[in-house]
Amino acid sequence: MAKILVTGGAGYIGSHTCLLLLESGYDVVVLDNLSNASEAALRRVQEMTGKTLDLVVGDIRDTSAVRALFAQHSIDSVIHFAGSKAVGESVEQPMAYYDNNVVGTLRLCEVMAEVGCKRIVFSSSATVYGDPDVVPIPETAALRTSNPYGQTKLVIEQMLREIANADPEWRVSLLRYFNPIGAHPSGRIGENPNGIPNNLMPYVTQVAVGKRPHLSVYGNDYSTPDGTGVRDYIHVMDLAAGHIKAVEYLAQHSGADAFNLGTGVGCSVMDVVNTFERVNGVPIPYQIAPRRAGDVASYFADPTKATQLLGWQAKLNLEDMVRDSWAWQSANPNGY
């Protein structure tokens, strides 16, 4: 079976994808500098699957380390998760974001070109659509973004397309994730944010476990059915499955393509809170707070292209997502 290099494979989405890759019979090599992850995630992935993977602790920008990795392993395709992802931090530290995300991806691609490994699945984000003109959002929608993090995703998408245009041996999948939440149903691996969570679901689970007194609901005066923000939450296991489909697709198809990975279903903040309380039987005290700067009212995916070309479709619903997020948080109140 093919050997896959997973950059950032110790992180939230990466660890779930490594698990599914191993279960699907792939050999896996992870390159992660552990800047936002714990080795424990991959120890658990190996325990859960009964299979081993290789972890190389190193940085995608360290060309000699990446070269050594490719010399040691015959890599078929790269799934590239490594990067920095906090929107607010990117506004404060734009240079660090361009360096880690854009320069990091460039350095990685240079070595890939050198060794002739030219298949890459890239973690893009629905943030590239900014405040969309229409929902559901198709891949053909206008691309615009209002913060350095989103801009790094746009620049990398453009760079990878141009690399593939210049050299038809390159095969590129740009996966635009909507809002990943949930965890492996065993609760053994999950999202482990540092400090106070910015995103909704980790905040909700930390309220549920008693680490935070209440949730602030950022605005209930949006033009949405209940006034709170609407997003397309997608289970991290569905997302992981999308990466396996993308690797399979690249084995058969050349060129560069973008795919939305979302469910196509929009859920409001109150849908998430109410579903969490009902499914898990745990109260989530909340207060209505002012809108958060930079938030949009509503966005969700048109996932038709991924269904038609990748043969991928999200299978899990909001109930599955809140159940599995809680399985992880309640079993691991302090993370790994």
State the catalytic residues.
149
Nearer Cβ to ligand UD1 (138/197): 197
Nearer Cβ to ligand UD1 (130/249): 130
Applying CB under 6 A, the span of 25-33, 132-140, 167-175, 198-206 interacting with ligand UD1 comes to 198-206
Position 214 contacts ligand UD1 (CB under 6 A) = no
Position 231 contacts ligand UD1 (CB under 6 A) = yes
CA dihedral sign, ordered 34, 37, 40, 45: negative
Q: How far apart are CA 160 and CA 256, in angstroms?
A: 8
Position 294 contacts ligand UD1 (CB under 6 A) = yes
Position 229 contacts ligand UD1 (CB under 6 A) = yes
Position 217 contacts ligand UD1 (CB under 6 A) = yes
Nearer Cβ to ligand UD1 (39/320): 320
Give the x-and-dash track for 115-154 against ligand UD1 (CB under 6 A).
----------xxx---------------------------
Q: How far apart are CA 282 and CA 286, in angstroms?
A: 13
Q: Which does 60 bind (CB under 5 to 8 A by kind): ligand NAD, ligand UD1, none?
A: ligand NAD
Quickly count: other Cβ atoms within 10 Å of residue 135's Cβ.
19
CA 189 to chain centre: 15
Q: What is the DSSP letter of 301?
A: B
- Closest residue to bound ligand NAD by CB: 11
Sheet with 255-261: list strands edge to edge: 54-57, 27-32, 3-7, 77-80, 119-125, 171-177, 255-261
DSSP assignment of 83-143: S---HHHHHH-HHHHIIIIIIHHHHHHHHHHHHT--EEEEEEEGGGG-S-SSSSBPTTSPP
Q: How far is the CB of 257 from ligand UD1 (least distance, A)?
A: 20
Q: Which does 217 bind (CB under 5 to 8 A by kind): ligand NAD, ligand UD1, none?
A: ligand UD1
Amino acid letter, 226: D
Question: Which residues contribute to the site for ligand NAD (CB under 6 A)?
Answer: 7-8, 10-14, 31-37, 59-61, 81-83, 85, 100, 104, 123, 125, 177, 180
Q: How far is the CB of 121 from ligand NAD (least distance, A)?
A: 11
Nearer Cβ to ligand NAD (61/211): 61
Percentages (nearest 5) of helix, strand, coil residues in the chain: 45, 20, 40
Contact partners, residue 105, CB within 8 Å, separation at least 6: 60, 80, 83, 122, 156, 159, 160
CA dihedral sign, ordered 200, 281, 191, 136: negative
Position 199 contacts ligand UD1 (CB under 6 A) = yes
Q: Which does 203 bind (CB under 5 to 8 A by kind): ligand NAD, ligand UD1, none?
A: ligand UD1
The reply to whether omega before 136 is within 30° of 0 (cis) is: yes
- Closest residue to bound ligand UD1 by CB: 229
Nearer Cβ to ligand NAD (143/227): 143
Give residues in contact with ligand UD1 (CB under 6 A).
87, 125-127, 179, 198-200, 203, 215-218, 229, 231, 269, 292, 294-295
